[in-house]
Amino acid sequence: MTARTTTGTTTDTTTDTTTDTAAQATPRRRIRAIPLGPRSLAALVLVSAVGVIGFGWPFLAPPSSQLSAHAEDAPWLFAGLLVLLVAVVAATISESGLGPKAVAMLGVLAATGAALRPVGAGTAGIEPMFFLLVLSGRVLGPGFGFVLGSVTMFASALLTGGVGPWMPFQMLAMGWFTMGAGLLPGRAGLRGRGELVLLAGYGFLASFAYGTIMNMAGWPFMGTLASNISFDPQATVPSNLARFVAYCLATSMGWDLGRAVCTVVLTLALGPAVLRALRRATRRAAFETAVTFDAPRA
């Protein structure tokens, strides 16, 4: 059985040296495992808009609204809605060109990320999964990054038993986190130390952003457990904002700092090797080239 590309030329197996030399001789171009078409972009914008409302509704809903009157029920409503919307986004993106090679890459990276999450067991924010997702999103683009972040968080939740109303929020936040890495500038030409510094800086800031966003999802559940920092449906927006800042400082600042430092250290230490491996695998996968197979010869 001989593999051939859609151009009709037959290719035989070549050595790694020949492949790498040819790749270096050709100009660098952006390789996207999942191209983002109009439908995919529209779905991403829709789910992101609903996600912003789902995370930030305590600051968007006036005290007299019915949503504020059901402060402990609202996160469940948004959690159920986000599950459906994330599924719609994944389906839409898959229709835009999620081929078998991209599925294989997605499965390998998602399984690796899910396996890395329990390594530190979240102790002091040591979560090596984040650095892998930053590098993957950088190499494979924002569309692949969003799907990878969501699927990895879903798989890791099943692996660690972290299934609950917070899981859809984690999936969406991690999708944003990984997609953002794919949107960083200089993806086609920036290499070396400059790229590592850029990714480390993004990982540091995004680690705090992820923790803050997830605090928004869990904060309304507190009710009256800690009246000085919990969400008050009858309070004004400035008052609730002050309570939220106090809540973040009291509950997650140390955790987020540990996650940020871990991401920076792993990115600077392992980033060059991981980036090379991801780019080499992406070149050899040739996502834009469809592969067909000839019938066996008699």
Q: Which of helix, strand or coil describes residue 291?
A: strand
Both tokens assigned to 241: 């904002």
* Angstrom distance (rounded) from CA 269 to CA 184: 20
pLDDT at position 277 is 92
Q: Which of helix, strand or coil describes residue 37?
A: coil
pLDDT at position 128 is 86
Q: Which of helix, strand or coil describes residue 62?
A: coil
Cβ pair 2, 294 in contact under 8 A: yes
For 159-187, the pLDDT digits (tens) are 776 677 777 788 889 999 999 999 998 87
pLDDT at position 2 is 43
Q: Model's pTM, two decimal places?
A: 0.74
* Angstrom distance (rounded) from CA 279 to CA 176: 22
Q: Where are the alpha helices (DSSP H) in the chain?
A: 16-25, 38-60, 66-69, 74-95, 100-116, 129-160, 167-182, 193-218, 237-251, 253-285
* Angstrom distance (rounded) from CA 103 to CA 88: 17
CA 229 vs. chain centroid, Å, equals: 29
* Angstrom distance (rounded) from CA 41 to CA 48: 10
Q: Which residues in the chain come in under a pLDDT of 70?
A: 1-37, 61-99, 120-125, 161-162, 222-227, 285-298
Listed residue (171, 175, 164) closest to 75, CA to CA: 164
pLDDT at position 205 is 95
Q: Which residue has the tokens 């790749």?
A: 23
For 243-296, the pLDDT digits (tens) are 888 888 888 888 889 899 999 999 999 999 999 999 888 887 665 555 454 555
